[in-house]
A = this chain, B = another copy of it.
Amino acid sequence: MGNKQQITERIAALLKDSKLSVTETRTKILELFMKSNGALEHSDFEKLAGKSFDRVTVYRTLQTFLDKGIIHKIPTTDTSVRYAVCKSECTEHHHHDHHVHFKCEACGHTICLDETNIPEIQLPKGFAANNVEVVVSGVCKSCK
């Protein structure tokens, strides 16, 4: 796990690798991602952090993290957008997000199944695939 100090240092290194200034907001938001062990949405940040962030800053921070390949979005059928941290192999220009996402209908959490690969999809003639998103819903390990 590592103590608070070590986590803060790891986050600072991650930000510097992406050529981003190391700020309090960015550090806190990344801490929340690491603690949560799952996907987060905008409202989570306001709740979790005790309204210490400005809403605008959260929007801009998440957009920056997306641009830099630090986090990725997870598709949903509701209005809320969900985000999760990418694995270390991801960079601004190359993503390794070919994993399945799982949404638990019991606890409501969405997680990345990093070990579960996306299968090949046989599309009709004339269609060219660039990216495949898979979201499975059901009951998770903890809620079973």
Contact = CB atoms under 8 A, between A and B. Distances in A.
Interface of A: 73-79, 81, 100, 102, 105, 113, 115-116, 119-141, 144
A121 B105 contact: no
B102 A130 contact: no
A105 B133 CA distance: 14
A77 B134 CA distance: 12
Chain copies in complex: 2
B115 A124 contact: yes
B138 A126 contact: no
A107 to B, nearest CB: 12
A99 B73 CA distance: 22
B105 A127 contact: no
A79 B77 contact: no
A83 to B, nearest CB: 10
A136 B131 contact: yes
Contacts of A120: 119
A73 B138 CA distance: 17
A123 to B, nearest CB: 6
B75 A81 contact: no
A102 B127 contact: yes
26 contacts: A75-B76, A75-B77, A75-B133, A76-B76, A100-B121, A102-B123, A116-B123, A116-B124, A119-B119, A123-B138, A124-B141, A125-B141, A126-B140, A126-B144, A127-B138, A127-B139, A127-B144, A128-B138, A128-B139, A129-B137, A130-B137, A130-B139, A131-B137, A132-B135, A132-B137, A133-B137
